[in-house]
Amino acid sequence: MRLLKVATCNLNQWAMDFDCNMKNIKESISRAKEAGAVIRLGPELEITGYGCEDHFLELDTVNHAWDCLKELLVGDWTDDILCSFGMPVIKGSERYNCQVLCLNRKIVMIRPKMWLANDGNYRELRWFTAWKQKESLEDFLLPSDVSEAVLQTTVPFGYGYIQFLDVAIAAEVCEELFSPMPPHAELALNGVEVFLNASGSHHQLRKLDLRLRAFIGATHTRGGVYMYSNHQGCDGGRLYYDGCSCIVVNGDVVAQGSQFSLKDVEMVVAQVDLDAVASLRGSISSFQEQASCKPKVSSVEVPYRLCQSFKLQMLLSSPLKIQYHSPEEEIAFGPGCWLWDYLRRSGASGFLLPLSGGADSSSVAAIVGCMCQLVVKEISEGDEQVKADAIRIGQYTDGQFPTDSKEFAKRIFYTVFMGSENSSNATRTRAKLLAEEVGSWHLDVSIDGVVSALLSLFQKLTGKQPRYKVDGGSNIENLGLQNIQARIRMVLAFMLASLLPWVHNKPGFYLVLGSSNVDEGLRGYLTKYDCSSADINPIGSISKQDLRRFLRWAAVHLGFASLEEIEAAPPTAELEPIRSNYSQLDEVDMGMTYEELSVYGRLRKIFRCGPVSMFKNLCYKWGTKLTPAEIAEKVKYFFKYYSINRHKMTVLTPSYHAESYSPEDNRYDLRQFLYNARWPFQFRKLDELVKELDGDRVAITKPSDHETTGVRSDGGMGVVAAGSGNPSVGL
């Protein structure tokens, strides 16, 4: 038997904080050595942090990475252990995303990434060049200070593998695993038995299974040991890297790290038998045949043994049942961990949330409550870093630290119900009860006086007094009155976040949390610069339907029982007066249901549909319930309001990324924000298709400039005046 002990890790790195990153890297190496591992794998670009973005274009960033690597090499960190470090490297005039493989204070090989991630949230081609020379390894001239320190002038650079005396090892970097022709297939035929995948993979709801299936598939039919390392945490942006480092042997997961954690360093260790790999490969006839005529891959010969022979006291790692979180758990733990990293690294003293008693803001409150529970749990399990951060943020003295999540929440979390004459007692009561369950410092504020003052000023300036629609006012007046309330709440929230700590003799400031969901962003069902404008938003890329499922789950599993009643209440902005014959409802205002919005969002983004192809897809999906003409009007209505409100994405609060149809404008959904909202060419095509499908040559009646066909929440057709309802088209 050739026994090999290997270690991979989740690291909570911070882009451009080299001290933080080096501390975690060294800790991971120390733990790997303590466990007896002879291979240590770290995440992609771990030395700099993955999210440096345009800092990668600065020579300083590359030079600092070399300084850190030199520090690791001149110490004893790589003694008797093969370490793979991720960092940017410049060769000639090109910048590469590289894995640097080191052993015994020498660089054995530098492996540049060949297939870069350049879709969705990823922009690697903006900063790096893909390595395209597969034929042979080249000599790379080390920087002079590194060369002098390690007594090494050149290093093999390129695509290849390392041939030790008893095992062949190769790197496969992140995206390469998911490419149509992944390198591991060719490398396996060349005898490579251990694959090292350093990754920077972010969390997205329901995504983990795709990743794990790729690891399993890589070794199921061709054998091998597949090691995967990932970042875990918020390294400075919208993304949360969700760890789940693992080790797979011949298609079986034998070790798996956590997906969500507050830990800075988490090690995953396994003892594997390489003879099991050789045995599997030898039993597959097609593998043998293809290996006999394989294209040759270059290698680096290293006269060193990594394996141990058979010993009774060395137990092999057995296959595990893969651990998956439910989507509801992902919503609780992912944003909760992201918020903790943001809080401890931003210098803030806590969070302030405008809590309306509705589903969205209540979801955010529950996530903060979950974060507090995670902090207390980690401290109870002995995590000294979490404990130190919690003591600093919560202002504990005399050796005290958080032992109760509600007590900790009281120190770091303000919630504010900012009610008006249009607010119901039910939402006020729900907000108060949830705040008590979470433990936040809760305020109940009336904004009517500020609204009246602004309206008095407006009347003095213009001589006119606007009225709500239910009181006989126009759509313009109705919209303006709602926008005033929404924007006052934003101003009040930021004022309280900056001054309440001073009132309570606390240092620093509080971060304002937003609570608009992905569907509202897609439809533009929010006021620009209302209380959806905040410092950060943990639910901005989560659908309304998922949030409602989360509320039902959190009511039971997080202990916030009031969420059950909140989830059951119909969504409403409560910006218009409540009358016996009228109550404002979100889905009526929007002219579409949240379920329909989710369908539109997925077709638009995930399936890349314009109006015409969306119409065709929906004819298949809804054709048994609606006529082609009705479906066409729904599609037109969605694209009209999507395009009218796209500009709101340019100022929307930075949001945790969780949903694959997010309309977030900064990096994920790069589209224009000034549209011809009539879509004349596309809508004309729709009309022609409807004619063909209906067999009717009579021109379809088009909405006038003053009204457009909408959809009531009950699914029937109705006429909705443009600009009506909640500030969904407010500028």
Residues annotated catalytic, as ranges: 44, 113, 174, 356
Cα dihedral 272, 277, 280, 286 in deg (nearest 10): 150
Radius of gyration of the chain (CA): 29
Give long-range contacts, CB 8 A cutoff, 24+ apart: 502-507: 506/349, 506/395, 507/349, 507/395
Using CA of residue 30, residue 17, residue 130, residue 233, what is the dihedral sign?
positive
Report whether 231 contacts 13 (CB < 8 A).
Answer: yes
Report whether 239 contacts 13 (CB < 8 A).
Answer: no
**Sheet of 350-354, strand order:** 441-446, 413-419, 350-354, 510-512
The DSSP secondary structure of 110-152, one letter per residue, reads: EEE-SS---STT--HHHH-------S--EEEEPPHHHHHHHT-
Distance, in Å, from the CA atom of 627 to the CA atom of 311, rounded to the nearest integer, reads 72
Three-state DSSP state, 265: strand
Cβ neighbours for 89, distance < 8 A, ≥ 6 positions apart = 62, 65, 95, 96, 98, 100, 110, 112, 140
Distance, in Å, from the CA atom of 147 to the CA atom of 183, rounded to the nearest integer, reads 30
Residue of 22, 13, 90 whose CA lies nearest to 56 = 90
Is 200 buried (19+), middle (13-18) or exposed (0-12) by CB count in 10 A? Answer: buried
Residue the block writes with tokens 């600092």: 64
Residue the block writes with tokens 């054998």: 223
Distance, in Å, from the CA atom of 309 to the CA atom of 535, rounded to the nearest integer, reads 56
Report whether 431 contacts 447 (CB < 8 A).
Answer: no
Is 291 buried (19+), middle (13-18) or exposed (0-12) by CB count in 10 A? Answer: middle
**CA angle, residues 518, 257, 163, in degrees to nearest 5:** 120
Three-state DSSP state, 530: coil
Is 581 buried (19+), middle (13-18) or exposed (0-12) by CB count in 10 A? Answer: exposed
Q: Which two tokens stand for residue 258?
A: 């956590």
Distance of CA 251 to the CA centre of its chain: 28
Cβ neighbours for 210, distance < 8 A, ≥ 6 positions apart = none
Please compute, for residue 542, the number of CA atoms within 13 A of its CA located in the half-sphere on the CB side: 32
Start-to-end Cα distance in the chain: 70
Give the H or E element holding residue 400: none
Q: Which two tokens stand for residue 43?
A: 């995440």
Report whether 80 contacts 53 (CB < 8 A).
Answer: no
Backbone φ and ψ for 244, nearest 5 degrees, come out as 60, 35
Residue of 627, 615, 625, 600 whose CA lies nearest to 685 = 615
